[in-house]
Amino acid sequence: MFMDAPSALDDEDDLIFVSSTSMGSRLNQLMPEKAMDAHVALEQFKSEFMSRYHGGPDFLPLSLKDATVKAFGSDARKRKLLAIYIHHDQSIQANVFCSQLLCSDAVTNFLEQHFVSWAWDVTSAYNKERFLQDCKQILGSGVADTVRKVKKDNYPLLLIAHGRGRQCEVNAIIQANSDLNELMAKLVNAYEESEERKQQEIREEDARIARENIKLEQEEAYRMSLEADRAKVEAELLEARRIEELEEQRRIEETKKEEDMERLRSSIPDEPSPDCKEPLSKVRFRAPDGTTFMRTFLASEKLQTLVNFVGSKGYTPQTHRVLKPWPKTNLLTLDMSSSLQSNKIFPQETLIIEENPDQDSDTCSES
């Protein structure tokens, strides 16, 4: 929908370009007759316009599509209106409109502050048709049909469009028969209406962003919860694996310990009978848990036999030491080939079994 649409229509050959007008003979063309490259053509338009009128809006040297993106493609707070200036060099009003209205400080400054400005020259049939095709695609067929029907002397036109993202709508078409006050009034009115829409769009955009942020926070919390659950499961699996490995290690160690104890038991001579006539050593052992057990040995037995006997009970030299109370002696530090009698473990003795405070020391090799 747009306002101020022109009432004067031209069914004649507005598409026919006459290059030999009085204006055309005095001035350089604002745009090549066939603008094949929009960027090059618009750079020429901007340069020639500034040279001809010594000022004017800062026209973007971009395609119309890119100009709409520049104006409407950002968030609501940064959007601007789009001012589309359509020039016709054969119009009797072109020079007055440009020099006295469009290039006035008030209009130029207002456009610079609140609008993205873009321009095109429809003097040649080729360039007009190209603009109309772009206009139909971007601004709609209604705007394109209206511009197509504008008479030559009703140019220049100033189209005011607002938009949001890819949506674009022309809400005013200002013709050349306006004076400066009318032009400024229409620009200000378009701006004020745009600001009302912008504030509503800002509220909608802020609400949308807030919803998206809440959704992102929820998704992040859910992701972190999943990661925490996954980490917990992994930790539980690792702990279960660790416990299983410890159990397996304990079983291996227990099995080895049992095998060692069995080997030590098989290496120990049988206990002497009560009616044995040889000298005997009766030894009481006090275990770390306070329990006691006794064993009788031949007094001539080697100290190694006594140590092996203690080891067969599970108190190996690697984990425990055997102490003689008086004088306090660690039997594991003595000569294992010496006899019990020579070490005064005779005829009877109480020995104390303690956990070895340092399993790397005070050990001896089995004979």
pLDDT at 367: 39
Name which of 8-22, 101-115, 340-354 the model is least confident about: 8-22
Per-residue pLDDT tens digits for 318-347: 899 999 998 899 999 999 999 999 999 999
User: Residue 80 maps to which CATH number?
Assistant: 3.40.30.10
- Rounded to 5 degrees, φ, ψ at 156 are -70, 165
Predicted confidence band at 139 (pLDDT cuts at 50, 70, 90)? very high
* Amino acid residing at 146: T
Predicted confidence band at 26 (pLDDT cuts at 50, 70, 90)? low
Residue 231 lies in a domain: no
β-bridge mates for residue 349, sequence order: 283
Predicted confidence band at 9 (pLDDT cuts at 50, 70, 90)? very low
Q: Collapse the DSSP code of 167 into the 3-class scheme (helix H, G, I; strand E, B; otherwise coil) and give the result.
A: strand
Residue 60 lies in a domain: yes
For the segment 31-43, the average pLDDT, to the nearest whole number, is 94
Residue 366 has pLDDT above 60, yes or no: no
Residue 266 lies in a domain: no
Structure tokens of 151?
Answer: 């008479």
Last residue of a domain, one of 206, 228, 263: 206
H or E element at residue 351: strand 348-355
Q: Provide the H-helix boundaries in 73-124.
A: 94-96, 105-114
Q: Are residues 58 and 149 in the same domain?
A: yes
Residue 22 has pLDDT above 90, yes or no: no
* Amino acid residing at 209: I
Structure tokens of 74?
Answer: 């950002």
Q: Are residues 185 and 43 in the same domain?
A: yes
Percent of the chain with pLDDT over 70: 90
Residue 72 lies in a domain: yes
Query: Looking up tokens 């040297």, which residue turns up?
Result: 61
Q: Collapse the DSSP code of 226 into the 3-class scheme (helix H, G, I; strand E, B; otherwise coil) and give the result.
A: helix
Mean pLDDT of the chain: 88
pLDDT at 11: 39
Q: Are residues 135 and 46 in the same domain?
A: yes
Helices (H) and strands (E) in the chain, counts: 9, 9
For residue 146, CA distances in Å to 82, 129, 154, 175, 257 come to 18, 13, 12, 12, 103
Structure tokens of 238?
Answer: 């690792």
Per-residue pLDDT tens digits for 44-70: 999 999 999 999 999 999 999 999 999
Structure tokens of 18?
Answer: 């006459």
Predicted confidence band at 2 (pLDDT cuts at 50, 70, 90)? very low
The pairs formed by 316-321 with CB atoms below 8 angstroms and a separation of 24 or more are: 316/257, 316/260, 317/356, 317/362, 317/363, 317/364, 318/356, 318/359, 318/363, 319/355, 319/356, 319/359, 320/288, 320/353, 320/354, 320/355, 320/356, 321/353, 321/354, 321/356, 321/362
Structure tokens of 193?
Answer: 């209406």
Structure tokens of 363?
Answer: 């050990």
Query: Which domain, by its residues, includes 148?
Result: 22-206
pLDDT at 199: 87
For the segment 127-137, the average pLDDT, to the nearest whole number, is 95
Predicted confidence band at 95 (pLDDT cuts at 50, 70, 90)? very high
User: Residue 321 maps to which CATH number?
Assistant: 3.10.20.90
Q: Collapse the DSSP code of 205 into the 3-class scheme (helix H, G, I; strand E, B; otherwise coil) and give the result.
A: helix
Q: Are residues 288 and 192 in the same domain?
A: no
CA atoms within 13 A on the CB side of 299: 15
Q: State how far the Cα of 24 lies from the Cα of 14, in Å rounded to an integer.
A: 16
Last residue of a domain, one of 206, 225, 248: 206
Last residue of a domain, one of 206, 233, 259: 206
Q: Are residues 202 and 348 in the same domain?
A: no
CA atoms within 13 A on the CB side of 134: 19
Q: Are residues 95 and 201 in the same domain?
A: yes
Torsion of CA 171, 175, 180, 184, to 10 degrees: 0
The strand ranges marked E within 280-346 are: 280-286, 292-298, 320-324, 329-330
Residue 237 lies in a domain: no
Neighbours of 150 (CB within 10 A): 25
What is the count of structural domains for the chain?
A: 2
| pTM, two decimal places | 0.57
